[in-house]
Structure 1
Amino acid sequence: MNICHVLSLYKSCSLAVKQSGRWGLSGVLLLALAGCSSNVAKVETWQGSPASAANAATLEAPGPIQVSQVNGQKMTSFLMDDFALNYALLPGENEVVFTHKTIWAKSGVVENGESKVHVVKSAPQVVRFNAEPDAVYRFRYDQPKSRSEAEGMLEGFSATVIEEDGQVVAESSVWEPSKVWDRTPNLSGSQAAEAASGGSALNTLKSVWATATEDEKKAFLRWAFE
């Protein structure tokens, strides 16, 4: 998230905090965030200032859907578990990793130090789809009505991403962390050398590494750590 977005949220909520001095800090924070959530800007999912950001698509994520990363970029975690957020996606292929998390109050007496709630959380899911410029997408999934129903959904949990008209564009599956997602295309040796003069040296190294043989990688590592 851009620091300007955080400052914008802080400024718009500061009055609510000042006027609630007699309340506990946690209560103030909850009220401020709840009252100002509609003013939170979209969370940017890229680094730098790409030209295509001007026509970024929007992915709406309700509170139970917690996005952890987009295209390998880790997303900010927030204090509120049910905080709905909008994510700005660059046009083109996108990979979104998320979990589905619900919280259920415990019945009966709760011992000191014991959590007052049951947390039901799915395994990390991944969804990949082609985002169109300025398009709006949202998650669709079965919403449990009880804790037991939520627990019963864990093993086969899946969500879809749909367009504004309800058309499905992608369905999630269990995320495999070993599969690295990189939107940067692989370059040949000559292309990498050309990119080094006007692009990111790190991206160039990544591209060259992807095309290197095992022997070349071993030779490079020996040289790098001598």
Structure 2
Amino acid sequence: MSICHVNRVFKSMLKGWHEHGVSLRVGLAALLALSLLGCASSASVVETWDGNPAAAERAATLKTPGEIRLVRVNGRNMTNFLMDDLALDYALLPGENEVVFVYKTIWAKTGVVKNGESKVHVIESEPQVARFEAAAGETYRFEFDRPETRQEAERMMPQFSASVVSSSGQSVASSSVWDPAEEVAASRTPIPESQSVGASANGANALDQLKAVWETASDEDKKAFLRWAFE
């Protein structure tokens, strides 16, 4: 599901809400679900840049499994989806890229679980960073050792590292623990001011505005919004 398709559905929904008097809250909840869950489609690709750079037409693709969640790409925060274990494809501009991610596995607890206690063990790595030169049109993926038990996962975490490999199987980068002080410039590819500023000020549609607010909101604000939307 593409953003263009989401926009078309949103406009159609707006017309229906106006004609039938459906609650604005329900509309916002539906829009949020479309914008977030639509990216879970196998055909979706999450863009990692702002604006409309010409190089986007030759973007590379980074495929991420459910265990890996991208946090930042070239200094830009990535969207936090409602479900963390989504396998997603990310579009990268050709050239040098810095990808920050977290590796996480979930293991069911055995035995009796007390009331209010989580039913699973969550094993998570420190934020990792991988830097590599992305070739136009190329497809990359992560390779890493997959533990067979929770105990093995816990032992792996202090030394965890993942490789980024090309479609031919060649390793182009190995991850290491991320140091924010060494982060590359947030805007690696210059975008004309008339596009990056003017467009957001004058031509941003409702979906873009909602996504921008969502990305900057705190976890508590997001939870409060969802409670409000589905009341």
Q: Secondary structure at the match of 1:128?
A: strand
Counterpart of 1:200 (choices 193, 196, 200) is 193
Q: Secondary structure at the match of 1:38?
A: coil
Q: Percent identity?
A: 56
Letter in 2 for 1:162: V
Is 1:59–2:44 an aligned residue pair?
A: no
| Long gaps (5+) in structure 2 | 11-32, 197-231
Q: Is residue 63–residue 83 contact of structure 1 (8 Å, CA) maintained in 2?
A: yes
Q: What RMSD over aligned residues (CA atoms) do the two structures have, in Å?
A: 2.9
In the alignment, the residues of structure 2 paired with residue 6 and residue 152 of structure 1 have an alpha-carbon distance, to the nearest angstrom, of: 43
In the alignment, the residues of structure 2 paired with residue 9 and residue 151 of structure 1 have an alpha-carbon distance, to the nearest angstrom, of: 44
Shift in alpha-carbon separation, 1:5–1:97, aligned structure 2, 3 A: farther
Q: Secondary structure at the match of 1:80?
A: coil
Question: TM-score, with normalisation over the residues of structure 1?
Answer: 0.67
The superposition leaves residues 68-122 of structure 1 with CA deviations (integer Å, 9 ceiling, x where unpaired) of 0100111111122221000000000000000110000001111111111000000
In the alignment, the residues of structure 2 paired with residue 175 and residue 143 of structure 1 have an alpha-carbon distance, to the nearest angstrom, of: 21
Q: How does 1:32-181 map to 2 (within 5 A)?
A: 37-39=41-43, 41-181=44-184
What residue is the counterpart of 1:191 in the other structure?
A: none
What's the CA shift for 1:181?
A: 1.2
Larger Rg: 1
Shift in alpha-carbon separation, 1:183–1:142, aligned structure 2, 3 A: same
What's the CA shift for 1:169?
A: 0.5
In the alignment, the residues of structure 1 paired with residue 106 and residue 144 of structure 2 have an alpha-carbon distance, to the nearest angstrom, of: 17
Q: Secondary structure at the match of 1:164?
A: coil
Letter in 1 for 2:99: V
In the alignment, the residues of structure 1 paired with residue 5 and residue 119 of structure 2 have an alpha-carbon distance, to the nearest angstrom, of: 33
| Long gaps (5+) in structure 1 | 11-28, 186-194, 204-226
What residue is the counterpart of 1:182 in the other structure?
A: 185
The superposition leaves residues 144-170 of structure 1 with CA deviations (integer Å, 9 ceiling, x where unpaired) of 111001001001000000011110001
Higher RCO structure, 1 or 2 (CA under 8 Å, sep 6+): 2
Shift in alpha-carbon separation, 1:6–1:178, aligned structure 2, 3 A: farther
In the alignment, the residues of structure 1 paired with residue 130 and residue 5 of structure 2 have an alpha-carbon distance, to the nearest angstrom, of: 26
Aligned length: 168
In the alignment, the residues of structure 1 paired with residue 6 and residue 85 of structure 2 have an alpha-carbon distance, to the nearest angstrom, of: 18
